[in-house]
Structure 1
Amino acid sequence: MNDKENKRISKPELRRLSALLDSHEIEIVQTINQVKFITANQLQRLYFTKTDNRVTNLRRCNRKLRRLKNFGLIADLPRQVGGRKSGSNSTIWAVSSAGYQLLRLDDMTLNATRKRLYEPNILFLEHTLAITETYTRLHEMNQKSKIHDLQVSFEPQCWRSYMKKDGVATFLKPDLFARFAVDDETEDFVYYELDQATQAPSRVVRKCKQFLAYYKSGIEMRVNGVLPWVVWITPSKKRREQLTRYIHEAIPNAERIFRIITMEELETLTFDTNKEED
């Protein structure tokens, strides 16, 4: 990232820029800030869906992104998903320092200071984009009325604090939290963990046990009156089968809380507890 993308600008200039933006553009900048990194493809699926022609929608999306970039509010990363030959839909976007400052004008809950915009390492970037993809697909499900009233919390808002057995305060750090209605009578609460197959299955099991320790603290039940599902999303069926085996061997009745799926299975995932007793 260059110095221009990390440049601080005056409040009067920020106010001038804010007056030039419509509510849709502000919402786009807010979303990019929330997810940290997002591709043009994901942004198009979130905000540019008016026509059935995806090429037209993507073209409109890219025009909007160029406008926000020209204002200095967002920046594109030097690398692209799938390489340069993948086209503009694979461009990765982040909020610039000026964009963050603009958001703070109307949201003082944002930190007064923020680290300089930087190009992340590939593992962190892939993991973050997987979280963004999960959110994008949940949003699409909500738009198609497969779920309703979607509410999502990103890191660090979705993190939870609790006391371990030794009395030491600690954090549970899921990647994403979602609350949504399936029908008029059913509402689901879900923590999502994005597995990139970069860590040993034993570490995944340890994270699962941390969820159990947090649930035993009683905090979640007091807040929501229900224990959320924990869904691990894996990059392949082979990895899904591996994690399923390790988790079920280590945790009795793991199916009562944990689900292990691939990203392609997210839309068809159901939480039918009756199946557990078959």
Structure 2
Amino acid sequence: MTDKQNKRITKNELRRLSAILDSREIEIVRTIHQVKFASANQIQRIYFTENEKQSTNLRTCNRKLKRLKGFGLIDNLDQRLGGKGGGASSMVYGITSAGYQFLRLDDMTLNATRKRLYEPNILFLEHTLAITETYTRLHEMNRLNKIHDLQVTFEPSCWRTYMKNGTTPTYLKPDLFARFAVDDETEDFVFYELDQATQCPKRVIRKCKQYLIYYNSGIEQRINGVLPWVVWITPSEKRRDQLTRHINEAIPNAERIFRVITMDELETLTYNNHKEED
């Protein structure tokens, strides 16, 4: 990361930036804050799709990211997707302290202070970028009218609280929550869990059973009127098959709530779910 992220920006300067940035630039800063880290490729796919040529869209996106970095609102990590040879699209961005204070100008619900941008460990970064990729693909599906009225809640806002054993406040911590319409009559609610194949299946089973305890509390039904799907997204078909086998062996009728897919199966999942229901 550059020294730009350590530069203090006055509130007057932040207000000046608020006046000169366009709405898309502000939304980019807000999105990077929500997802924690995003690659240039992911930002391009969310915000820059007007041109038929992908290379043109990416160049436009990179100019915007460079501009926001120049203002000190975001910065790129030293780490890149796929290593140093990945090109500009592989650069990963996070929000700076100044960028966070910039967002607070219009959203005082954010905490007054925020820690400086840091270089995360590789496992945390890969997991976070997988969450961002899930959001990016849902956004693309919504833009192409494959789903409608997409609403996404990021952590920690998507976490749920319930009482364990009736006495102990406990957090259920999904990676992402999405609500969207499939057609004029059907609306889906989904908790997403991004598996990186770094933990044993027993830990995944424990998390699944935590969902069951939470569902049995009745809290979610009172919030949304339905029980959301729980979708585990794995990095490979081998891992998908492994988790599917373990979940089905440990939890009776697991398919009523849980789905295990790869990232490339995300788009077809909704169609297949409702085809099965029909």
* 1:93-172 equivalent positions in 2, closer than 5 A: 93-172=93-172
Q: Percent of aligned pairs with the same residue?
A: 74
Q: TM-score, normalised by structure 2?
A: 0.97
SS in 1 for 2:268: coil
Q: What is the alpha-carbon distance in structure 2 between the residues aligned to residue 167 and residue 246 of structure 1?
A: 30
The equivalent residue for 1:229 is 229
Asked if the contact 1:256–1:276 (Cα under 8 Å) also holds between the matched residues in 2, the reply is: no
The whole-number CA distance in structure 1 between the counterparts of 2:193 and 2:167 is 26
1:19 Cα offset (Å)? 1.3
- TM-score with structure 1 setting the length: 0.97
SS of 2:142's partner is: helix
For residues 12 and 136 of structure 1, do their structure 2 counterparts lie closer, same or farther at Cα, with a shift above 3 Å needed?
same
Residue pair 2:162, 2:169 contacting (<8 A) in 1 also: yes
Q: Which moved further from structure 2: 44-53 or 262-271?
A: 262-271
Residues 28-107 of structure 1: matches in 2 within 5 Å? Answer: 28-107=28-107
1:273: Cα distance to partner? Answer: 6.4
Instruction: Give aligned pairs, total.
Output: 277
Structure 1 window deviating more from structure 2 (20-29 vs 124-133): it is 20-29
Task: Provide the secondary structure at the position in 2 that maps to 1:272.
Answer: helix
Gaps of 5+ in 2: none
Structure 1 position 166, deviation (Å): 4.5
- Equivalent residues of 2:2, 2:75 under 8 A apart: no
Moved more, 110-119 or 121-130: 110-119
* Deviation string, structure 1 residues 170-226 (Cα, Å, up to 9, x no partner): 100000000000000000000000000000000000000000010011100001000
Secondary structure, aligned partner of 2:269: coil
Cα distance in 1 for residues equivalent to 2:28 and 2:3: 23
Take 2:142 and 2:4, find their aligned partners in 1: how far apart are those partners?
Answer: 37
**Contact persistence 2:191–2:229 (CA under 8 A):** yes
Distance in 1 of aligned mates of 2:42 and 2:23:
19
Structure-2 separation of matches of 1:42 and 1:264: 15
Supply the distance in 2 between the matched residues of 1:108 and 1:183 (Cα, whole angstroms).
36
Query: C-alpha offsets along residues 123-173 of structure 1, whole Å, 9 cap, x if unaligned?
Result: 000000000000000000001111000000000010000001151001000
**Aligned pair 1:272/2:277, yes or no?**
no
Q: Are the aligned partners of 1:256 and 1:273 in contact in 2 as well (CA < 8 Å)?
A: no
Match of 1:181 in 2: 181
Q: In structure 1, what is the equivalent of residue 199 of structure 2?
A: 199
Q: Which moved more, 1:122-131 or 1:1-10?
A: 1-10
Residue 261 of structure 1: how far off its partner (Å): 0.1
The alignment partner of 1:29 has SS state of helix
Give the CA deviation at 1:230.
0.2
The C-alpha deviation readout for 1:29-55, integer Å capped at 9, x for no partner, is: 000100000000000000000011000
Q: Separation in 2 of the partners of 1:190 and 1:273?
A: 14
Conserved? CA contact 1:74–1:99, under 8 Å: yes
1:251 aligns with 2:251: yes
Checking the alignment, whether the CA contact within 8 Å between 1:153 and 1:177 is kept in structure 2 is yes
Poorly superposed stretches of 4+, deviation over 4 Å: none
CA contact (8 A) 1:79 1:92 kept: yes
Q: What is the DSSP-based 3-state SS (H/G/I as helix, E as strand, rest coil) of the residue aligned with 2:227?
A: coil
